[in-house]
Amino acid sequence: MSSSSPPLAGVPPRAVPAGPPGPTGKPAIKDNYLNADYGWKSWLFTVDHKRIAILYLLSVTFFFFVGGAFAVLMRLELATPEGDLVQAETYNKLFTMHGVMMVFFFLLPSVPAVLGNFLVPLMIGAKDLAFPRLNLLSWYIYTIGGLFSLFAVVSGGVDTGWTFYAPYSSTYSNTHVIATALGVFISGFSSILTGLNFLVTIHKMRAPGMTWFRLPLFIWAHYATSIIMLLGTPVIAITIVLLALERLFQIGFFDAKLGGDPVLFQHLFWFYSHPAVYIMILPAMGVISEIIAAFSKKRIFGYSFVAFSSLAIAILGFLVWGHHMFVSGQSVYAGLIFSFLSMVVAVPSAVKTFNWTATLFKGSIQLDTPMLYALGFLGLFTIGGLTGLYLATLAVDVHVHDTYFVVAHFHYVMVGGVVMAYLGGLHYWWPKMFGRMYPEFLARIAAVVVFVGFNLTFFPQFLVGYQGMPRRYHEYVEEFQVLNVLSSAGASILGLGYLLPMIYLTWSLYYGRKVGPNPWGAKGLEWEQAGSPPTTFNFERTPLVTEEAYAYPDARPQITARAGHGGRHE
Amino acid sequence: MTQEFKLLPQAASEVASSVDHITLYLTVVSVFFTALISLLVIVFATRYRRRHADQRAEQIEGSLPLEIFWTVIPLAIALFSFAWGARVFFRMNSTPEGSLPISVTGKQWMWKVQHPEGRREINDLHVPVGVPVELTMISEDVIHSFYVPALRTKRDVLPGRYSKLAFVANKVGVYDIFCAEYCGTKHSKMIGKLHVLEDSQYQAWLSGAGSGPAPREDGAQLFAALRCDTCHSGQDNSRGPSLAGLFGADVPLADGQVVKADLDYLRESILKPAVKIVAGYQPLMPTYAGQVNEEQIGQLIAYMRTLGAPDPASTETTR
């Protein structure tokens, strides 16, 4: 073990302000978690949630750029209708590995494992997560899973698509299905353990006075996400085991020739993978709530509606998986019910969007980089959400299912939504994480480049999808070329937009302006009561919470209590 | 880039136009809300921009009427789309009486088509204009999906189970057929053309080169060659149940269940005869798995459907 002292996580910080709870018997020169200890061991054996967050940051960034590299090659291939850059086999491996890397090793862990890990204890006034060693284990499991899948790439690749549909994956593909799927299987446990850790932490380790309705919306979002992680992830694990049994031992679950049912695989796969979409987007929504509040200097409009819509999404999200299977041979009546429920699950997202927009009204708005990302998120997520209605509508889905329309839709949600929020959050909490500010001007330019590049890449895909271009096509008919060229051009701009932050954020670690604890003047325990960077145990003394989240001062001096307009939730 | 750029693909059926109408509705909704949100964001971000460092916001807790308003309105818009989409979806999934039955077999990486009177084709499908067509589809290997953008319709083609795709093309022309479900290396080569012909041209085409015996005739030969007739002779004392008039009938099983003798039942009974034993008979029948391919199974079933049915046309509707 490292020389850092044992975590005090087991001690609930309920005892109201006692003495400094810091590491007893340690010299005080180590004033933050980054310089508390040195050497690789102090990182690889750390149990500090903040250091683990940094480990995740490095890992997800790595996998993001690996997944991005595959996307670059795909877009290059698709610039012409002919399959002239890479062979069909290679192309199929490219989109598969792009999907696997991005979904399982970037999108799923990005916000919760990096920002959530860093911020959940800080925001609720705890010293660490409830199970710090489990937290470190989660990172190891995740990384081993990622390397397993990466091994599959290096040793020849896999060509099933990230959805691993049987019986192609179980019987027909000659590629490294097992290694890749095993990587996904392993990393799933990381997700389960992280979800468990967050749930227990949020339940048991809130600082005195931090009642449920004083929690930042980021915490509500992570709470809802954790429920999905815990309940959904075991199903994908089971599915992968069944797939492996069929592939290795010809035990028939999915292949009709072995007596199985291929549609069963889709049911099992989407029973996890649709809720998994919400594992990605809910924490991102939490980030957006924080940024919009901080850069409007304003309490989130309809706090409790935003909080409960997260829970509503988490629950309803489990009941809509069949909308991936409207043309798969599922009964038309099942289709009817799944279509209906998919319409219903769209509503909480709409409610959130309206509340965020309403928050801006009469705010004190500052358009710094995090806010640019958040406002960009609002626009792109609106398009992503609304195009979900097309797909939830039975007759329209029959046409656009498995076309680029679907590809465009989920990239608007996943990239326009999650990645925008993740980048916004990374910029917002960057000074908290490292005590230094990123270069604002450059960052604003990058945010605009990302926004423009994103739209140019993915908007044409809605059109080409509606025209009928199926996804996962190595070659395509000529009339789709114009839109594909636009998309490829956009991708090059988008790629540049992603490289910029990578460069200037790294630069800022060494040369960025040093900042105090609260450079944004934001509300929240992480800003008001912890240093930048925070100390190993976050707070000098256990915070005592006496006000609601986002208790920014009011422009109207007379009105001090905020119970005026409706304290329904107390 | 020689093609003229068009926003919408061609529409070659009434259903296609209906789908486009729903799409138009959703697009109006989407444009409206995207414009609304963008406009509000831009107006608020400009109007309430922080002009001096200690400028305060006006704290507003929320508004129950507003929350109800923007819960109910999106729900109503979404449910309208749900109802409309479901209506058209059910129309897509209904097969009119007297549809022209065509069988389609998908395999890596081609579409094999056989018309009821025997003409076969690969990666092409010729149909008469204005006549309801019902494709009965099955895959020999992985999942495929038969997709015609001009008809705005697709259906997964599964191994081990028949799936159906019904349509009425209303415009003469040639349209793309794509495989929409990823099926392996040459997935993007699993494409073809739908040729919608005038009825007279279709009849002429049917009798052109490549025509052979009808599936039911092939099926009759197979039925004899595989010696099916020794047990399923239709005599009272035969070892297997009679097949006359079987298709579409209710079959009482040995375990007390009653099943409908549909395509999937007949297919399963050929490949896995022990799964469902007809009441009053012994499980004597051997499996024919490996001896017949999907097309031959289709031919055997086509032949069985003629047994005990004096008028073949009346047995085509299965719903």
Mind listing the pLDDT tens digit for each residue in B85-141?
A: 999 999 999 888 889 999 999 999 999 999 988 888 999 999 999 999 999 999 999
Contact A244, A251 (CB under 8 A): no
CB A89 to CB B37 under 8 A?
no
Instruction: Tell me how close the Cα of B264 comes to any Cα of chain A, in angstroms.
Output: 12
Q: Which is more confident, A341 or B293?
A: A341
Q: Which is more confident, B9 or A202?
A: A202
Distance separating alpha carbons of residues B10 and A476, to the nearest angstrom: 17
CB A364 to CB B5 under 8 A?
no
* pLDDT value, residue A469: 96
| pLDDT tens digit sequence for B142-152 | 999 999 999 99
Instruction: Give me Rg for the CA atoms of chain A.
Output: 24
Instruction: Tell me how close the Cα of A551 comes to any Cα of chain B, in angstroms.
Output: 9
| pLDDT tens digit sequence for A349-369 | 999 999 999 999 999 999 999
Chain A residues with CB under 8 Å of B59 CB are 298-299, 552-556, 559, 562
Tell me the β-bridge partners of B122: B112
For residue B4, pLDDT over 60 is answered with no
Tokens for B260, please give them.
């409908």
* pLDDT value, residue A2: 39
Q: What is the interface pTM, i.e. ipTM, of the complex?
A: 0.89
Sheet holding B124-128, edge to edge: B124-128, B192-197, B173-179, B144-148, B153-157
> What are the boundaries of each domain within chain B?
100-206, 215-315
First to last CA, chain A: 45
Tokens for A130, please give them.
């409830």
Tokens for A9, please give them.
């996580």
Mean pLDDT to the nearest integer, B300-305: 88
CB B40 to CB A360 under 8 A?
yes
CATH 2.60.40.420 fits B100-206, yes or no: yes
Q: What share of chain B is helix, strand, coil (3-state, %, to 5)?
A: 35, 25, 40
* pLDDT value, residue A12: 43
Instruction: Tell me how close the Cα of A503 comes to any Cα of chain B, in angstroms.
Output: 29
Distance separating alpha carbons of residues A272 and A324, to the nearest angstrom: 12
Distance separating alpha carbons of residues A143 and A66, to the nearest angstrom: 14
Contact A168, B185 (CB under 8 A): no
Of A361, A470, A566, the CB nearest to B44: A361
CB A168 to CB B143 under 8 A?
yes
pLDDT above 90 covers a percentage of chain A that reads 84
* pLDDT value, residue B307: 84
B54 CA to centre of own chain: 64
Return the residue of B nearest to A475 by Cα: B188
Distance separating alpha carbons of residues B236 and A202, to the nearest angstrom: 74
Q: How many other CB atoms are there within 10 angstroms of residue B166's CB atom? A: 18
* pLDDT value, residue B245: 83
Mean pLDDT to the nearest integer, B65-75: 94
Q: What own/partner pairs with CB < 8 Å and gap ≥ 24 does A34-37 have?
A: A34/A434, A34/A435, A34/A533, A36/A4, A36/A535, A36/A536, A37/A2, A37/A3, A37/A4
The CATH code belonging to domain A46-528 is 1.20.210.10
* Average pLDDT value over all residues in chain B: 89
For residue B317, pLDDT over 50 is answered with no
Tokens for A243, please give them.
């797939």
Of B60, B142, B187, the CB nearest to A167: B142
* pLDDT value, residue A29: 55
> What are the boundaries of each domain within chain A?
46-528
Distance separating alpha carbons of residues B119 and B109, to the nearest angstrom: 20
Of A298, A394, A396, the CB nearest to B23: A396
Tell me the β-bridge partners of A122: none
* pLDDT value, residue B112: 94
Q: Fold for B215-315, please state it.
A: Cytochrome Bc1 Complex; Chain D, domain 2 (1.10.760)
Which residue has 């097969």 as its token pair?
B95
Name which of B246, B191, B305, B62 is nearest A354 in CA terms. Answer: B62
Q: In Å, what is the CA distance from B42 to each residue of A349, A565, B37, B56?
A: 21, 26, 9, 19
> Cis omega before residue A167 (within 30°)?
yes
Angle at A464 between CA A446 and CA B192, to 5 degrees: 145
Under 8 Å CB pairs connecting chains A and B tally to 318
Tell me the β-bridge partners of B105: B112, B138
* pLDDT value, residue A564: 43
Distance separating alpha carbons of residues A109 and A184, to the nearest angstrom: 12
- Residue numbers in chain A where pLDDT is lower than 50: 1-28, 561-570
CB B84 to CB A343 under 8 A?
no
Distance separating alpha carbons of residues A35 and A51, to the nearest angstrom: 11
* pLDDT value, residue A242: 95
Instruction: Give me Rg for the CA atoms of chain B.
Output: 27
Which pairing describes strands A436-437 and A513-514: parallel, antiparallel, or unpaired? antiparallel
